[in-house]
């Protein structure tokens, strides 16, 4: 797969990014090279992070999906990989068709907003004609006071939990996983994720696993709950 180089674009979703990678490299949707596609997909995600661009969660979900697809394709019997590959190709093809139809519809409505009607002058009677019993005046007064309270700045205590929330870096989780693998032969992937105490730590663990896979430092094997992570030892020269 030919290495691409282009200015970072804002993609509408992971299917939009995959479609752009396939088009850029002139590859067939029906014959997707998962390894090369995953590598360039992760490179683009990392480039988005380096440029301080927000990476939506659906991009990370697609990254884990591609990692799993690459993993099962390495098994001796890769019937499941073929089925998953066909499913992914169908989604990309469906997205391309919807995108083409949207472009055609946009050209059909061109110029519709050029025809406008002159604004009519409307005489508004501002006389208040409704009548209310005097018993409702206290309720309206309390309502007006409450509306004034809402204009005040919020209490800082509301943001205490957000500001003081623990931030877990990906590099910290990379070191943690490597230490576990150095001490033991294999580690269960699910157990590694279950060690996370909150969502922030879970996301950092997931990104750390992706980084280690990309750097060819760990190997993921197995399926389902029996998926294991093994340290790849560097060859001595």
pLDDT in tens, 79-105: 777 788 788 888 888 888 888 888 787
Distance CA 197, CA 165 (A): 12
Which domains can be identified in the chain, with CATH numbers?
14-104 (no CATH), 170-231 (1.10.10.580)
**What's the gap between Cα 22 and its chain centre?**
20
Q: What is the pTM of this model?
A: 0.37
pLDDT in tens, 103-159: 787 777 666 666 667 788 888 888 888 887 878 888 877 777 766 665 666 666 666
Question: Which residue(s) pair with 220 in the sheet?
Answer: 229
Distance CA 170, CA 122 (A): 62
Distance CA 189, CA 220 (A): 8
What is the predicted pLDDT for the residue at 177?
85
Could you tell me which of 58, 65, 1 has the C-alpha nearest to residue 28? 1
Distance CA 61, CA 45 (A): 12
What is the predicted pLDDT for the residue at 234?
65
Distance CA 66, CA 84 (A): 10
Could you tell me which of 11, 38, 13 has the C-alpha nearest to residue 91? 13
Of residues 8 and 54, more confidence is placed in: 54
What is the predicted pLDDT for the residue at 1?
43
């Amino acid at each position: 797969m030919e290495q691409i180089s282009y200015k970072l674009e804002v993609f509408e979703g992971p299917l939009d990014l995959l479609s752009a990678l396939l088009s850029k490299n002139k590859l067939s949707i029906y014959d997707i090279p998962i390894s090369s596609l995953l590598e360039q997909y992760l490179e683009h995600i990392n480039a988005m992070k380096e440029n301080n661009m927000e990476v939506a969660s659906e991009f990370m979900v697609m990254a884990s999906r591609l990692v799993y697809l690459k993993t099962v394709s390495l098994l001796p019997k890769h019937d499941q990989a073929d089925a998953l590959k066909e499913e992914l190709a169908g989604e990309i093809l469906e997205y391309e068709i919807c995108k083409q139809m949207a472009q055609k519809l946009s050209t059909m409505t061109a110029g519709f907003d050029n025809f406008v009607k002159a604004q009519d002058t409307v005489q508004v009677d501002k006389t208040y004609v409704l009548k209310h019993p005097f018993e409702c005046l206290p309720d309206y007064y309390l309502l007006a006071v409450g509306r004034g309270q809402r204009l005040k700045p919020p209490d800082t205590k509301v943001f205490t939990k957000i500001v003081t929330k623990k931030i877990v870096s990906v590099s910290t989780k990379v070191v943690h996983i490597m230490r576990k693998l150095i001490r033991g032969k294999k580690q269960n992937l699910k157990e590694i994720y279950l060690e996370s105490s909150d969502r922030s730590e879970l996301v950092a663990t997931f990104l750390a696993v992706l980084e280690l896979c990309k750097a060819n430092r760990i190997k993921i094997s197995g399926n389902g709950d029996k998926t294991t992570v093994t340290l790849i030892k560097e060859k001595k020269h």
